[in-house]
A and B are shown apart, each in its own frame.
Chain A
Amino acid sequence: MLNKYPMWKNIMVVLIIAVGFFYALPNLFGEDHAVQVVGTRGAAVTTATQGKISELLAKDGITVKRSELENGQLLVRVKNADQQLAAKEAIAKALGDKYTVALNLAPATPRWLEDMGGSPMKLGLDLRGGVHFLMEVDMGEAIRKMEEAKIADFRSQLREERIRYAGIHRTAHGIEIRFRDADTMDKAESFLTSRNGHEMGFSEQDADGKFLLQATMSEAYLKQVKEEALQQNITTIRNRVNELGVAEPVVQRQGSDRIIVELPGVQDTARAKEILGATASIEFHMVDERADLQAAANGRVPAGSELYQRRSGGPVVLKKEVMLTGDHITSAQPTFDQYSRPQVAIGLDAKGGTIFSNVTKDNIGKPMATLFIEYKDTGEKNPDGSIKMKKIEEVISVATIQARLGRNFVITGLSHPESQNLALLLRAGALIAPVSIVEERTIGPSLGAHNIESGMQAMIWGMAIVLIFMVVYYRAFGLIANLALVANLVMIVGIMSMIPGAVLTLPGIAGMVLTVGMAVDGNVLIYERIREELRAGRSVQQAINEGYKNAFSTIMDANITTFITALILFAVGTGAIKGFAVTLMIGIATSMFTAIVGTRAIVNAIWGGKRVKKLSI
């Protein structure tokens, strides 16, 4: 029998469309005003905290709609914006600075829907307001740091093996080690290669009686160093973003040396920039006591040492070798000593503790310096357009090691705000290489709301005219196409809500509007074909069958090519454009389904398998 879908196929169509509708449902419920509480560094939000907050808010007369604890993050939903502000203040006051308390808008999806995996679409920054940063990691600096670490390694390795070298320093091409004779150089080369061969390549360069061993990083190692620098910076920036107390931030890598940071709802961009971009870190060095300060000030610094300035004024010569870097710091709290002088209490991780303990044990009675390193944006640009950063190095304290220190100790010699800032930065982790902001976009929240509104307007107008036209032109079949069109739109929303990474942007809405216009293409092709077949004198059933059959490959070809371009857009696009590409791709897939299979199911159900003389087309 012609034009009959088997029962299972009908059920399948209904089921797929029902699932699409179901997952689109959460978008109808709007949002609740909420307060988000997250524990930072050590502190965790527990059911006890949750209970305490509920009590506190009940006392203040704030109605809690719902309070949820998930993955160490507490979300307290309240009635309105006023209560939200009051609740935030009350909670922040009660919990202290070990927790970040942020305002948030939480989807008001009912519990049962949420339990079945339903959640509304995520809105891009252009629709809800906020700030977007693109940051670039200074890879040259990451490599310099790694080379310096390698120099320290080489020194101790050569010393261990009792190979005498005349000097070792960084050059533009890597690390250069000088020797007095060819024999030692050969010995050193084979020894260093056996120890570091997978990371560094060594080559001898003896000219004019000089014996130089050149060490350069292998391609693979260079790549690894860059990769690690990027990853570590991402982790650090993520920590800092958490310190800012922003709800639902995004920190993502882009390409080989860039990081995207998106902070929804943030208005105070200056503070956000200061915290994100600041690259303060500290290093501990031993003071070179043999050095003559007068000579050093005139440029005669002993090999292996370097001249620095004290923050309090005056020069000091430190050994180049870094005893410990800020990477090992796990906690940093601004406190005061017994004379009310600000200090920062530092806690180290296990590895840092061991290193520090060994270093201090061997150097009791000797002075150790805390070197504060900061990169500042000079406001100037390099010839290649990247931002020029200035490195500021200052010795913030020199203290004599009194005893073997373990994992906890204090840094002194800071002013009050400095200790606060340093503690915050250290707590959030040091950036391994400085970053600079290469792109910044701030969208006000009112503009975001306005964007949604105009997108919706365009959608309503475009859709209304198309729907009316289709009914007028194709009558009953037009009505079926319209059903398919609406189902298609709902399915796009449903799938967008289902995919975790999909974000609705303003161009995304444009993509949906466009899909409305283009999705009828499938039905128009089919219907025109049916009309042609009818004109050619075929029976109604045959015409329907031929129409769907012949139009199929055309629709496929036309859609696949659009899909290819959408895919390319997705690959090269950023932010909002990616959003457009995603909606376009989903729209193509769903419109193929609704326009071909969906309408066929209805057509079959109405006209299929019986005698029909005339079609309303």
Chain B
Amino acid sequence: MMQLTAFKNTIDFLKHARVISIMSAVLVVLSLVCLGVRGINWGLDFTGGTVVELAFSKPADLPALRADLTQDSVSGAVVQNFGSTRDVLVRLQAKTGIKSELQVADVMAAAQKLDRSVVQKRVEFVGPQVGKELAEQGGLAVLVALICILIYVSFRFEWRLAAGAVASLAHDVVLTLGVFSLLQLEFDLTVLAGVLTVVGYSLNDTIVVYDRIRENFLKMRKATPYDVINASITQTMSRTIITTGTTLITVVALFMKGGTMIHGFATALLLGIMFGTYSSIYVASYLAMKLGVNREHMMPVEIEKEGADQPSIMP
């Protein structure tokens, strides 16, 4: 039997929990401050505007292209490489009184001056109104997801655990957003999808630990909550490492091979999964303990074993 983590004895995860959770709290505060000060680099999906992706036949001379984009319609354009030295992304702000077609035509004219065989690979235009609505909807979606999960977990487990779970999810979301804000990575719709997926995924880890906590409270009759939680985290550790590992492998594959259009998505997942795994231990469980979860709280769940009979999934 090959073992990554053959723990004979229970590891005292909670020993440093106080220090680590204070660190977590500091990180959350720092993220919030960063979000407040630097804000988020909202992508086209949320701000509105126009994006043109060009494919040059030879490595593109970005300074020359920038210098050419001086007409009124396209001034303030952001020009950057996208994936390779031949691929260039031009971002234009929506301007009153100027049609997006005209902006695109001006960009093409400038690009053709440098390379006659330049190809337009992608053009996206989003009205500012649409973007604003999306941002509102997106924020709402994250909120609704958190609330739904709070309801589900309090129904399946217990409110103290639910509070711990939601706090850890909020922690993951805030930290992920914090990194996006700190590094000023572009935040578009796919990133939002990534963040929401993180909410779902990071809960997986929390639930696995909680399930074990519930089970151990019933099994280890004399143990303190502190011991029960430590034992539960230890017992589920190898599973956590393996599944986080396999998920990270696939996400890294997406990050490296998936192409530029889902880079943001993969980045959000990558960050979120790492924060999520850590927070399921140090935020979710620790908070549940601090809220005073104990054996009595776990008693009524006995009935729910009814549905846990494995063969019942088949008709």
Contacts and interface: CB of A to CB of B under 8 A. Distances in A.
Contact of B190 (A384, A463, A577): A577
Contact of B265 (A126, A380, A510): A510
B20 interface: no
Interface in A39-72: none
A616 B32 CA distance: 49
B310 A596 contact: yes
A542 to B, nearest CB: 14
Contacts of B247: 514, 517-518, 521
Given A134-B130, A597-B313, A524 B242 contact: yes
Contacts of A113: none
Contacts of B245: 469
A372 to B, nearest CB: 23
A305 interface: no
A473 B245 CA distance: 13
B174 interface: no
Contact of A520 (B55, B100, B243, B304): B243
Contact of A569 (B55, B193, B313): B193
Nearest to B247: A517
B226 interface: no
User: SS class of chain B's interface: helix, strand, loop or mixed?
Assistant: helix
A422 interface: no
B253 A458 contact: yes
A554 interface: yes
Contacts of B148: 564, 568
Contacts of A593: 313
A475 B139 CA distance: 44
Given A379-B99, A457-B257, A557 B196 contact: no
B12 interface: no
Interface string B187-203: 00110110011011101
B15 interface: no
Contacts of A558: 203-204, 207-208
Given A380-B96, A553-B211, A562 B239 contact: no
A454 B261 CA distance: 10
A441 B254 CA distance: 23
Interface in A307-363: none
Interface size class of B (residues with CB under 8 A): 35 or more
A551 B199 CA distance: 22
A444 B257 contact: no
A111 to B, nearest CB: 33
Interface string B250-272: 11111011110110011001000
B125 A439 contact: yes
B14 interface: no
B97 to A, nearest CB: 5
A513 interface: yes
Nearest to A561: B203
Nearest to B243: A521
B129 interface: yes
Nearest to B153: A561
Contacts of A385: 48, 127-129, 132
Contacts of A126: 261
Contacts of B75: none
A517 B98 contact: no
Given A472-B2, A573-B193, A517 B251 contact: yes
A262 to B, nearest CB: 14
B172 interface: no
A465 B189 contact: no
B208 A518 contact: no
Contacts, number: 257
B258 A510 contact: yes
B42 to A, nearest CB: 15
B152 A513 contact: no
B122 A443 contact: yes
User: SS class of chain A's interface: helix, strand, loop or mixed?
Assistant: helix
Interface stretch (A204-212, A234-242, A401-409, A445-453): A445-453
A441 B123 contact: yes
B201 A518 contact: yes
Nearest to B312: A552
A455 B97 contact: no
A507 B97 CA distance: 35
A560 interface: yes
Given A462-B249, A462-B250, A557 B211 contact: yes
Interface in B101-139: 101-102, 119-130, 132, 134, 137-138
B141 interface: yes
Nearest to A12: B314
Most B-side CB within 10 Å, residue of A269, A472, A561: A561
Contact of A454 (B122, B153, B246, B258): B258
A572 B137 contact: yes
B314 A597 contact: yes
Contacts of B208: 525, 554, 558
Given A126-B261, A510-B265, A568-B196, A440 B145 contact: no
Given A444-B122, A554-B211, A473 B250 contact: no
Given A463-B250, A469-B246, A513-B258, 13 more contacts: A381-B128, A438-B129, A441-B123, A444-B121, A447-B121, A462-B250, A462-B254, A466-B250, A517-B247, A520-B242, A521-B243, A593-B313, A596-B310
Interface of B: 1-2, 4, 48, 53, 55, 94, 96-102, 119-130, 132, 134, 137-138, 140-141, 144-145, 148-149, 152-153, 156, 189-190, 192-193, 196-197, 199-201, 203-204, 207-208, 211-212, 215, 235-236, 238-239, 242-243, 245-254, 256-259, 261-262, 265-266, 269, 304-305, 307-311, 313-315
7 contacts: A440-B125, A446-B121, A457-B258, A549-B308, A553-B304, A566-B200, A580-B190
Please list the 7 inter-chain residue pairs (A to B) with the smallest Cβ-Cβ separation, ordered nearest first: A517-B250, A454-B259, A565-B200, A462-B253, A462-B250, A438-B127, A562-B200
